[in-house]
Amino acid sequence: MDSKIFITRIIPDPGLVLIREHFLPDIWTSDLPPSRGELIAHSHGVDGLLCLLTEKIDGELMDSIGSQLKVISSMSVGVDHIDVAAATARGIPVGNTPGVLTDATADQALALMLSAARRIPEAERFLRAGKWVTWQPSLLLGADFTGSTLGIVGFGRIGQAVARRAQGFDLRVIYHDPSAQPVYGAQPVDMDTLLGESDFVSIHVPLTEKTRHLVNSEFLAKMKSNAVLVNTARGGVLDQTGLYQALKCNRIFAAALDVTDPEPLPMDSPLLELENCIIVPHLGSASKKTRDLMSLLAAQNLISGLKGERLPHCVNPEVYR
């Protein structure tokens, strides 16, 4: 097939090898994303675009690519970087990579909960600074995890995988998600009950206009003062100014963020001054197996779209009606 393809980064081998069996793609080889101008130039005239969550794919870009564009495939489950409505309006299917990163992301949420509760990064900084002089009864005391109450905001695949893991820690799990059925012993509650009763609050909603800054000063004010907030969803779900204020005055015990807004987080962000805030660079899906599977799914979506077949994982199936 002589379709034209642009891939916006070197993706793991399983996907790349599969694509190269069928096509000769143009691949952006820098570690940094293409600039807007570079994205426009390289994607002009392509039949298929494979992108990451670092690229903004809007209607203007789709039009500049041209009406021959058959598929947009993102190597991510989240598609908030793509104007899906604009793609649908142009009849372009958009593919994503659900399922394969559920476990890795749920593992990361648990790792962050435990790290924040037991102050692991702070303790390691303490040790490396040469401050460990003896065992002390009150040194770096953290929060109890086992037996506590976990509130899950957004009870889709990843939220449910977190609930499943919580059973092993004897957590009481409550969740807020009007569209989800209870599983793994989790109990549905309204948002105020969740915030008022949870020792750990874990965010698992996609970023949409409705969820932008869902976690704001008002939300944080309703949380318990011993509570830990964990965000492995999207940075835009959280108002970082409100979070800084809540952490600075110990309104809540700690926060652990896998995602920020913007990404990367500027090094002058006040959040970086705080001992009770853990921040890691968007690593929820960062295991070798998971990234291999994500690249494979992204490649399968791309190839199906180019062949005019239904994408295995399509976020806008209405294009097929």
Q: Give the catalytic positions in this structure.
A: 234, 263, 282
SS3 170: coil
Q: Is 205 in the site for ligand DGY (CB under 6 A)?
A: no
Q: Is 159 in the site for ligand DGY (CB under 6 A)?
A: no
User: How far is Cα of residue 155 from the mean position of the Cα atoms in its chain?
Assistant: 14
Q: Are 271 and 265 in contact (CB under 8 A)?
A: yes
Rank residues 45 and 99 by Cβ distance to ligand DGY and give the closer one: 99
Nearest distance from C-beta of residue 204 to ligand DGY, angstroms: 11
Nearest distance from C-beta of residue 106 to ligand DGY, angstroms: 12
ω into residue 281 within 30 of 0, thus cis? no
Closest CA to 25 of 7, 47, 45, 52: 7
Q: How far apart are CA 232 and CA 109, in angstroms?
A: 6
ω into residue 25 within 30 of 0, thus cis? no
Nearest distance from C-beta of residue 101 to ligand DGY, angstroms: 6
Rank residues 19 and 77 by Cβ distance to ligand DGY and give the closer one: 77
Nearest distance from C-beta of residue 56 to ligand DGY, angstroms: 15
Rank residues 198 and 290 by Cβ distance to ligand DGY and give the closer one: 290
Closest CA to 54 of 70, 30, 90: 30
Rank residues 174 and 255 by Cβ distance to ligand DGY and give the closer one: 255
Rank residues 54 and 149 by Cβ distance to ligand DGY and give the closer one: 54
Site residues for ligand DGY, window 269-308 (CB under 6 A)?
Answer: 284-285
Q: Which residues of 255-284 are buried (b: 16+ CB within 10 A; e: fewer)?
A: bbbbbbbeeebeeebebeebebbbbbebeb
- For helices 288-306 and 13-22, the axis angle rounded to 10 degrees is 20
Nearest distance from C-beta of residue 203 to ligand DGY, angstroms: 12
Q: How far apart are CA 114 and CA 140, in angstroms?
A: 14
Rank residues 32 and 141 by Cβ distance to ligand DGY and give the closer one: 32
Q: Which two tokens stand for residue 94?
A: 């958009």
Rank residues 3 and 74 by Cβ distance to ligand DGY and give the closer one: 74
Q: Report which residue type is found at 149.
A: T
Q: Is 154 in the site for ligand DGY (CB under 6 A)?
A: no
In this structure, what are the phi and psi dihedrals at residue 42, rounded to the nearest 5 degrees? -75, -25
In this structure, what are the phi and psi dihedrals at residue 150, rounded to the nearest 5 degrees? -110, 125
> Of 46, 50, 53, 271, which one interacts with ligand DGY (CB under 6 A)?
53
Q: Is 101 in the site for ligand DGY (CB under 6 A)?
A: yes
Q: Is 230 in the site for ligand DGY (CB under 6 A)?
A: no
Site residues for ligand DGY, window 60-99 (CB under 6 A)?
Answer: 76-78
Nearest distance from C-beta of residue 202 to ligand DGY, angstroms: 15
Nearest distance from C-beta of residue 63 to ligand DGY, angstroms: 25
**Residues 6+ positions from 282 with CB-CB distance below 8 Å:** 258, 259, 260, 263
Q: Which two tokens stand for residue 302?
A: 């791309």
What is the number of alpha carbons within 13 Å of residue 88 lying toward its C-beta? 11
How many of the chain's residues bind ligand DGY (CB under 6 A)?
Answer: 7
Residues in contact with ligand DGY by CB under 6 A are: 53, 76-78, 101, 284-285
